[in-house]
Amino acid sequence: MFSLVYRSVARPGFSLDQIQDMLIKAQNFNHEQGITGCLLYYQGEFIQYLEGNQYKVLTLFDKIKVDPRHKNVELLSYEEREGRAFENWDMAYENFFGENPQITHLRLLVGEYLSQITEVPANNPTKNVFWEHVGSILYSKTSSGN
């Protein structure tokens, strides 16, 4: 099993309707390709965890890197590992709108997860990178006042 994590910035004008359309297509494609993962969108930034056959994941990532709907695609981590972190999700997706109870709850969950990975040796470093960057997006947007 191969996994990778990347983050990117949505291009101006990339609407939530367009994101939903992209997500439906991605879920169908990922299901056909045996790719699972999680995509989070928050205040113009994407962070995504992809896992599956190495060739298929890297081929998909090559397409993602040149997709004009976003920019500043940055590979954060990748690894070969046993098993899946998101085995039942063709592509889990969450879009968080500003401050609300849902984003507060996610911050608490991410904070708890991050405190656990510092106490226990990491058995899935790429998954840990994913959640660390989710935390950085969530907390930096709060502290910068955006």
The DSSP bridge pattern shows strands 92-96 and 36-42 to be parallel
Contact 37, 5 (CB under 8 A): no
**pLDDT the model gives residue 139:** 60
Annotate 75-86 with DSSP letters as a single string. EEEEEE-SS-SS
Mark the ranges of the chain whose per-residue pLDDT is less than 50. 93, 97-105, 113-114, 120-121, 142-146
**pLDDT the model gives residue 140:** 63
pTM: 0.70
**pLDDT the model gives residue 84:** 83
